[in-house]
A = this chain, B = another copy of it.
Amino acid sequence: MTDHPQIAVSTVIFALRETDDQALPALWMPLVRRIRAPFEGLWALPGGPLGIDESLSEAARHNLKATTGLAPRYLEQLYAFGDPARSGDQRLVSIVYWALVGNDEASRSEADDNVRWFPADALPALAFDHQLIVDYALWRLRNKVEYAQIAHRLLGETFTLAQLRSVYEAILQRPLDPANFRRQMAAAKSLAATGEMQSGARHRPPRLYRYVEVPGTTPNPWA
């Protein structure tokens, strides 16, 4: 045990996956298997040490790429965890980020013996205090999706309103009224119709939308 605390940067990653039996997607996340003590063999959040020339968010991105191959479409600092008892016999302070990755990116993600995807609400036993961290990240995601425009970052570049609504429903775990959802999105003025339709289904073809930044809408100018 060293006499000064070590710093690590870890990330809770969310992506949407179609469930086989249902048409509704659900939240999944990639975990990595620990290959050394403490908690050897258990699943854990991807992370690693803080490089001497990296900012905290750069370290999060860099570790994400190295361990899971993913590049997030949204990244935000979650919390710093530093309880003395959280990391066995060495003192470890973890700066934890949370991230959203798009549809395409998540499905491209290679399967690996030491990296596996799990449903966010049914994880295996996790190393350290990582289950607590995941619970907090889920709480933050559910809060933030209600007032910030982040849900589209779990989809691709263009999407239908029904797809976007299914993202909200997967995160909030309750059905939303399609009519009211449409009006809420219209009021936010952050969606632009591409002019294209998505055909093929056996019903009226829906419009495709793209996310557009609304000028005065930066919820947190810092961070």
Contacts and interface: CB of A to CB of B under 8 A. Distances in A.
Residue of A5, A53, A95, A221 with highest tally of chain B CB at under 10 A: A5
Contacts of A220: 139
Copies, count = 2
Interface in A66-124: 77, 79-84, 91, 93, 95
Given A135-B222, A136-B223, A222-B136, A52 B95 contact: no
Contacts of A139: 220-222
Contacts of A81: 56
A132 interface: yes
Secondary structure of the A contact surface, majority rule? loop
Interface of A: 3-7, 50, 52-56, 77, 79-84, 91, 93, 95, 132, 135-136, 139, 220-223
22 contacts: A4-B4, A4-B6, A4-B7, A5-B7, A5-B50, A7-B7, A7-B93, A50-B82, A50-B93, A52-B84, A53-B84, A56-B81, A56-B93, A77-B79, A79-B222, A79-B223, A80-B80, A93-B95, A132-B222, A136-B222, A136-B223, A139-B220
